[in-house]
């Protein structure tokens, strides 16, 4: 088989030979992939050995993974928040403390290292849910988007794509002014948020989207402003939704309806919208999300780390809500762990195995995640798609043994981020043989960036 969609006059700039490739429905041995203009120009199967000049990718090559939900600065909390006990709300106080120490320069350093860790984990695109906008006390920087631009630059230097989901975060709760920590997050009104966010510019590796932090953080009367901003730009719109039962209770008290119903009543739901977590939902909530085509991003490692609960992912998907995955607070950065955790959580809930196939879980970790980030053409190894791919070793202690036809099952149910050998973004080899080609020493970069916040 040979599939070709090379742009006229665009030369092939790279050819990759994959010992095994995931083609959406099956594992195919011996595949070459040509790159032209940063996109896949041709795919050929039945190639037993690397052609002259081709770069060999040995293992299972998948479409690049999409990390749909990230808070980059939460990477500084890893392990330090595992001392003692508490709830989401006590964890939040530690998060505020870390946020208070960041500047545009230190945020760039931390985000660059965090995004490099993502590249090492096979992630080629991240959705950064960005609400840390201003200086301590809420004073805007001279460049009002200094923090967001630091994140965009950090992703570029780490070699991955970013959808900066600039977040409206205006209140501490229903009818409550921002507390001293949240002053950094707040633009005071949705109109002021829209004015600032409109100054952001994307690029080859960066898209600009919008986010509503939550129904408790954006007054109901101002939701429409954020929705309109996203609609005018055809941009993705994300929102934390029903992560905690306390939020549901407060919304019912303030508005007499659930957060999902409140969002529906104010025009927030729809195919370009993704609800993050969607954990504590009623049957009506699930129907509203599914019927509107609103997506669901599950973040299982964070949801279990924060003791949030297990969201109704299977019911949401049956209702019509596309599923994607995120590492959120970065307790770990491992999309294979997120994918299998979604399945294993559902097994614990139902006492039944096999709710999603490996193929379905890979789609949540790639194509549906990219679509939620405004890149519906990504997440496949087909001509015309972005040349974003990742290769997982099939000979590690975790993945060795299964027949090659079961390589997708090995990747989803046994592999970890440590098994990623190669990551390619727009045809460029960002991770080669397990080493980042742009950030020389990622562990040291992480350690130095985090130490700077605790010094």
Residues known to be catalytic? 277, 328
Contact 333/417 with Cβ under 8 angstroms?
Answer: yes
Residue with tokens 């920590």: 181
Phi and psi at 328, nearest 5°, equal 50, -100
Q: Distance between alpha carbon 326 and the CA centroid of its chain, in Å?
A: 4
- The rounded distance, in Å, linking the Cα atoms of 117 and 123 is 9
Please list the alpha-helical segments (H only) found in 43-137. Answer: 88-99, 104-120
Give the DSSP H or E segment for 292.
helix 283-292
Residue with tokens 């006059």: 9
- The rounded distance, in Å, linking the Cα atoms of 407 and 56 is 18
Sign for the CA dihedral angle at 298, 299, 304, 309 comes to: negative
- Using N-to-C axis directions, what is the helix angle for 104-120 and 146-158, rounded to 10°? 30
- The rounded distance, in Å, linking the Cα atoms of 167 and 144 is 14
- The rounded distance, in Å, linking the Cα atoms of 121 and 182 is 32
Q: Phi-psi region for residue 176, left (φ > 0), alpha (ψ -120 to 50) or beta?
A: beta
- Using N-to-C axis directions, what is the helix angle for 190-197 and 223-233, rounded to 10°? 20
Give the DSSP H or E segment for 274.
strand 273-277
Residue with tokens 């993974």: 65
Neighbours of 86 (CB within 10 A): 13
Contact 27/405 with Cβ under 8 angstroms?
Answer: yes
Provide, for the chain, the percentages of residues in helix, strand and coil under a 3-state DSSP scheme, each rounded to the nearest 5: 40, 25, 40
Residue 131 CA neighbour count, 13 Å, CB half:
29
Give the DSSP H or E segment for 431.
strand 428-432
Q: Which of 41, 170, 375 is nearest to 16 (CA)?
A: 41
């Amino acid at each position: 088989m040979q599939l070709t969609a090379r742009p006229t006059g665009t030369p092939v700039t790279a050819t990759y030979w994959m010992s095994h490739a995931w083609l959406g429905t099956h594992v195919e041995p011996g595949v070459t992939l040509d790159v032209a203009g940063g996109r896949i120009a041709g795919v050929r199967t039945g190639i037993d050995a690397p052609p002259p000049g081709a770069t060999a990718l040995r293992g299972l090559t998948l479409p690049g993974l999409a990390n749909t939900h990230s808070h980059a600065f939460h990477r500084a909390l890893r392990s330090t928040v595992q001392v003692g006990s508490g709830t989401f709300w006590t964890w939040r106080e530690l998060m505020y403390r870390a946020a208070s120490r960041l500047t545009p320069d230190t945020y760039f350093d931390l985000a660059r290292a965090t995004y490099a860790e993502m590249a090492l984990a096979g992630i080629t695109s991240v959705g950064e849910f960005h609400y840390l906008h201003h200086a301590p006390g809420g004073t805007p920087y001279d460049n009002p988007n200094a923090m967001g631009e630091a994140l965009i630059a950090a992703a570029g230097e780490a070699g991955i794509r970013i959808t900066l989901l600039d977040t409206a975060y205006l209140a501490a709760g229903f009818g409550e002014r921002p507390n001293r920590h949240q002053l950094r997050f707040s633009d005071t009104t949705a109109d002021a948020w829209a004015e600032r966010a409109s100054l952001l510019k994307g690029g080859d590796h960066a898209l600009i989207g919008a986010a509503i932090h939550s129904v408790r953080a954006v007054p109901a009367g101002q939701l429409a402003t954020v929705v309109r901003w996203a609609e005018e730009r055809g941009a993705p719109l994300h929102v934390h939704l029903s992560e905690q039962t306390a939020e549901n209770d407060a919304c019912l008290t303030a508005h007499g309806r659930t957060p999902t119903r409140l969002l529906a009543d104010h025009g927030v739901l729809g195919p370009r919208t993704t609800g993050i977590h969607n954990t504590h939902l009623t049957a009506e909530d699930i129907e509203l999300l599914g019927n509107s085509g609103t997506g669901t991003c599950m973040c299982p490692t964070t949801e279990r780390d924060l003791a949030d609960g297990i969201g109704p992912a299977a019911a949401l998907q049956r209702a019509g809500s596309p599923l994607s995955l995120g590492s959120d607070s970065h307790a770990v950065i491992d999309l294979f762990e997120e994918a299998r955790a979604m399945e294993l959580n559902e097994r614990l809930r139902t006492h039944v195995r096999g709710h999603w196939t490996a193929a379905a879980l890979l789609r949540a970790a790639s194509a549906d995640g990219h679509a939620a980030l405004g890149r519906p053409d990504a997440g496949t190894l087909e001509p015309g798609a972005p040349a974003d791919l990742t290769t997982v070793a099939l000979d590690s202690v975790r993945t060795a043994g299964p027949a090659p036809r079961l390589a997708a099952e090995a990747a989803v149910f046994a592999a970890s981020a440590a098994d990623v050998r190669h990551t390619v973004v727009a045809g460029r080899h960002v991770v080669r043989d397990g080493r980042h080609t742009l950030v020389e020493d990622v562990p040291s970069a992480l350690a130095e960036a985090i130490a700077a916040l605790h010094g």
